[in-house]
Amino acid sequence: MARICIDARPAAIARGTGIGNYTYQLLYFLSKLDSDHQYYLLWPDDEVELLPLPSHFFFQPMTRNRREEATELPQWLESQKIDLYHAPDNGLHAFVADSCPLVVTIHDLIPFVMPETVRRGYRRNFLEKVPEVARQACHILTVSETAKRDIHTVLAVPEERIQVIYPAPEAVFRPGNPERARYRLQVKYDIDSPYILYTGGLNPRKNVAELIYAFTKARKYWDRDFLLVILGELSSTQEDLPGLCKALVVDKAVLFPGFVPMEDIVTFYQGAELFAYPSLYEGFGLPPLEAMASGIPVITSPVPSVTELAVEAALVFNPEDTTSLVHQLDCGLRDTKLRQMMSRQGQLAVTPLSWENTARQTLAVYHEILGGSNKKQTVGELF
């Protein structure tokens, strides 16, 4: 019985983000699939045990202070005779121990590819930490062929050390009753008109301002009043999107409900007429697949989740071309046969994806490493 350590802290402190959800779902399904090994989960030292996990999963409080964990974490890994250590958060809190091999999940290289869209402190830490961890890891997992290519090219990691394992929409995203969804949104959020939905963050890289510009132009062609609903918590450090809407005189037509709980995100998907995703760059880009799983027609920039898995199920536009986005907004709302086809194709495209498959493939990587190594082998000896 091997002793596997996973840094589970993102599941506690970043649930609702891509990395937090990835970590949470991975842990949950590993607990269903694997009863042969013991799992030791690094956990914030001020958190209770939130995950309902079986008895062969153990929580280990661990500080997130980088200076302290740089000493404490390797010592703990060695003292507990950990056989394999997995860091799912790009390796930003991974500190390599000589006593066990390291697996790291690198989701994207945005601080390298689009540094201007990343906070200065995070960018500095990422640029310093991730290349070092990528060199020291015995195996790197990533979420798309696009991300794999970036890791190989930018970090000079051999392709044979990188494996693509796709994430998936959570099971809660499924078709619902649109009328019931819209009624719930009217009662809770005072939304009483058909709407286009965006969710996925408000960082400048997400290109939401371009979506607002395109919506402003496209709505002049419609004989119905559509709203644009933009989910996500506004911040003073981000673009002033409400100010942009006011300047464009669409502040009554573009709504910012702010942060919404997961059950309401599901409702927003189910009640939408169209989902629009204008991101400039993604390692994967899960929201378009969540919308497809919910039966909603999708228009999107060419993000990996669509181009690698569902390109025939969405209308794709150039995110830097407003005219292209205006055209696809118009088609996505007015062409009834096209909308029906996208809804069917989208649900078919996401059917093979599941977090159980993601966890199963990750477990196979663990077995490959554990089956061919002992704790004292170095990275060079493993691969």
Are residues 245 and 299 located together in one domain of the fold? yes
Residue 313 lies in a domain: yes
Where residue 35 sits, what CATH number does that domain have? 3.40.50.2000
Are residues 332 and 360 located together in one domain of the fold? no
What domain range includes position 198?
Answer: 178-350
41 vs 7: CA distance, rounded Å: 6
Residue 117 lies in a domain: yes
Are residues 140 and 234 located together in one domain of the fold? no
The 162-164 sheet, strands edge to edge: 57-61, 38-43, 3-7, 84-87, 102-105, 139-142, 162-164
What are the structure tokens assigned to 103, written together?
A: 């697996």
Contact 235, 241 (CB under 8 A): no
Are residues 63 and 96 located together in one domain of the fold? yes
Residue 77 lies in a domain: yes
Residue 308 lies in a domain: yes
Residue 173 lies in a domain: no
Q: What pLDDT sits at residue 65?
A: 87
Residue 57 lies in a domain: yes
292 vs 343: CA distance, rounded Å: 7
Q: Chain centroid to CA 179: how far?
A: 29
Are residues 65 and 185 located together in one domain of the fold? no
Provide the number of structural domains found in the chain.
Answer: 2
Q: What pLDDT sits at residue 153?
A: 97
Q: What pLDDT sits at residue 379?
A: 36
Are residues 224 and 83 located together in one domain of the fold? no
Are residues 273 and 229 located together in one domain of the fold? yes
Helix (H) or strand (E) holding 139: strand 139-142
Q: What pLDDT sits at residue 50?
A: 65
Are residues 50 and 161 located together in one domain of the fold? yes
Q: What pLDDT sits at residue 380?
A: 37
What are the structure tokens assigned to 202, written together?
A: 């408000």
Are residues 306 and 342 located together in one domain of the fold? yes
- Of 113, 156, 89, 168, which is closest to residue 359 (Cα–Cα)? 168
Label each residue of 30-55 as H, E or C.
HHHHCCCCEEEEEECCCCCCCCCCCC
Q: pLDDT tens track of the chain, all 383 residues?
A: 899 999 999 998 887 788 999 999 999 999 999 999 999 999 987 666 667 789 999 999 998 888 899 999 999 999 999 999 999 999 999 988 888 999 999 999 999 999 999 999 999 999 999 999 999 999 999 999 999 999 999 999 999 999 999 999 999 999 999 999 999 999 999 999 999 999 999 999 999 999 999 999 999 999 999 999 999 988 877 889 999 999 999 999 999 999 898 899 999 999 999 999 999 999 999 999 999 999 999 999 999 999 999 999 999 999 999 999 999 999 999 999 999 999 999 999 999 999 999 999 999 999 999 996 544 343 334 33
Angle between helices 145-155 and 120-136 (to 10 degrees): 90
What number of other Cβ atoms are within 10 A of residue 71's Cβ?
10
Are residues 292 and 321 located together in one domain of the fold? yes
